[in-house]
Amino acid sequence: MRRSYQDDLANMSGSVIKSDSELKTLGDLANRNRDRMSDDHKAHLYQKHNEYKAPVKQKELPKGMTRMKKPSQKFQWPK
């Protein structure tokens, strides 16, 4: 695999990277670290941090049993 210097130059145009002493906020640090990550690494972290949202396969029920359906309206408990 060869490195594409043209892609590197396109990504670097107009960007200034702050040194550790110049970072003022946690957001600056997060942005700097994000910019250093590859797209694959960003995609991996996104998948890792959002995997709980994926539907979970439910276990098989014994024969003759069914699951309850989710109610169409939310129930409001009295205060």
pLDDT digits (tens, 9 = 90+) for 17-75: 677 777 888 888 888 888 889 999 999 999 999 988 877 788 899 999 998 888 888 88
Other beta carbons within 10 Å of 17: 10
The predicted model gives 3-15 an average pLDDT of 69
CA distances from residue 44 to 7, 40, 48, 54 in whole angstroms, order as listed = 22, 6, 6, 15
Listed by start position, the domains of the chain span 19-49
* pLDDT value at residue 5: 73
Model pLDDT, residue 21: 78
Task: Between 60 and 76, name the one with better pLDDT.
Answer: 60
The H or E element that residue 24 is part of is none
pLDDT at residue 12, as a whole number: 66
Q: What is the pLDDT of residue 40?
A: 95
